Amino acid sequence: MALARAVLTAIDAPEPFTLAGFYSQLIGGEVQVCYRNAAGDPEWVEIREGAQRKLAFQLVPDYQAPTWPNGRLPQQMHLDLEVEDLDAGETFVVAIGAVKSPVQPGETFRVFLDPAGHPFCLVSIGALD
């Protein structure tokens, strides 16, 4: 029996509201600012779909983007997101602000960097089964 259940993944961001907006276009859901700092800036932002929390984004004022696949800052984490069509998925994510990584280590997935520099993959349906 498991001790706990995973309920939310939080991602560091220099601008949590902006990054949440990017991912809400990609995975759906409503962006909600949950906490603001003393200056009134969003400090904790979530993407929700009804009562379900999908992702959270937390303000890191001195945020430094990962330097994956090389460099001193590893990717730290990444999301794998299934799509029916990799070409259509690529067109969509680039149009909303992602950058295709020059490093593409596989054929059933494509690596992109979100607007804050986090790597994420679009994966063909069934490729991870």
> What is the reported pTM?
0.91
Residue 24 is classified by DSSP as: H
Tell me which amino acid residue 52 is: Q
**Residue 123 near residue 83 (C-beta atoms within 8 A):** yes
> Measured between alpha carbons, how far is residue 23 from residues 37, 51, 87 in Å?
22, 18, 18
Q: Which CATH class is domain 64-129?
A: alpha beta
Share the mean pLDDT of the chain.
94
Q: Is residue 20 pLDDT above 90, yes or no?
A: yes
6 pLDDT band, cuts 50/70/90, is confident
- Reported residue count of the chain is 129
Domain with CATH 3.10.180.10 in the chain: 64-129
Instruction: Tell whether omega for the bond before 61 is within 30 degrees of 0, i.e. cis.
Output: no
Q: Which residue has the tokens 């607007």?
A: 115
pLDDT in tens, 51-99: 899 999 999 999 999 998 888 888 888 899 999 999 999 999 999 999 9
- Could you give the C-alpha distances from 28 to 46, 47, 55, 72, in angstroms and in order? 12, 8, 11, 33
